[in-house]
Amino acid sequence: MKAAYKKYILDFKRPSGTSRGILKQKETWFIYLEQDGKYGIGECGILRSLSIDDVPDYEEKLKWTCENITLGKDKLWNHLIEYPSIQFGVEQAFLSFDSDNPFELFKSAFTQKKSPIPINGLIWMGEESFMFEQIQQKLEQGFKCIKMKIGAINFDSELKLIASIREKYSKYQIELRVDANGAFSSEEALSKLKQLANYNLHSIEQPIKQGNYLKMSNLCKETPLPIALDEELIGVFDVTKKKELLLTIQPQYIILKPSLIGGFKGSQEWITLAEELGIKWWVTSALESNIGLNAIAQWTYTLNSKLPQGLGTGGLYVNNIDSPLKVDRGTLIYDINKCWNKNLIEDLCL
């Protein structure tokens, strides 16, 4: 078996705002396996300043991985414990290689019968008018769950936007989630959560910065609004440490981004622990191309979660890879009548 990797820059259709800054491009790497005319592909994607493996020797580790591909998926996963995005890319590539169809990693009703996955519509930070425009578009597109990025513009303006939705749609008509990406200070967080709770929100993701276990624990105990941990899971590799984190903080939800927490295996460890402790969860992409998003979506479907997932990111880029993934009335479907751009994929990887 031979392995190679190649870098690819994804360009956003429109600059997208978070509390950590404006995103215009997204770096990703494809890892490609080949043997006797058969191939497999996986995506290793990092988020700058967020991924634990955003380190200077990242490409050196990718090169090492390709040179040692004969170690196999499981041994490589163990060697790559501090490189969760490469762990995930390797998992995908081997699943792809071992499948009859390199783009069908998990055969299910999702890939065979267009069985949908409910997803949330993502509202990016920006000027008030831009955020309102996005909200209107998502509602017109049939989304029943909307997730708003908050924490970058004036908080009162964000409350007004949320209030404008609730004036028209009750919590039974539209589920609202908000994501602060750690933007609130620990001193002001509870006060802001109390204000947000007036609008019957489903949850808030990562209200304060990760790493403040005791402060987050106290917040989860006192909050009038369910809290979902996201960034908090990044960089916690050991299963014992994962359990300790969940026992200490006791969040209402956790959010799983396979590229950031060790792929399917790392995510499943979190799910098992969370379910033992009565903590709910859902899966979210980390702005991968359609290669990574496809793998995450197919895996997510097999988990039989009824919650809307965060998998509606395939349309963010002008140069994404054409795929059967399609957002339809607030769900993600796998349209078997649409084709992968295999020529582009082979050009990227060979």
Residue 58 contacts residue 28 (beta carbons within 8 Å): no
What's 125's DSSP letter? B
DSSP state string for 264-315: HHHHHHHHHHHHHTT-EEEEB--S--HHHHHHHHHHHHHTT--SPBB---TT
Nearest in space to 135 (alpha carbons), one of 149, 155, 153: 149
257 has catalytic annotation: yes
Q: What are phi and psi of 279, to 5 degrees?
A: -95, 130
Task: Spot the catalytic one: 26, 138, 149, 242.
Answer: 149
Q: For the chain, what is the total number of helices (H) and then of strands (E)?
A: 13, 13
Contacts of 47 (CB under 8 A, 6+ apart): 26, 54, 259, 260, 286, 287
Q: What are phi and psi of 34, to 5 degrees?
A: -150, 135
Tokens encoding 79: 């060697």
Q: What are phi and psi of 99, to 5 degrees?
A: -90, 155
Helix, coil or strand: residue 141: coil
Q: How far is CA 126 from CA 7, 157, 183, 340, in A?
A: 29, 11, 15, 33
Helix, coil or strand: residue 201: coil
* Rounded Cα distance, 253 and 274, in Å: 8
Task: Spot the catalytic one: 26, 73, 209, 257.
Answer: 257
Q: Which residues are catalytic?
A: 149, 257
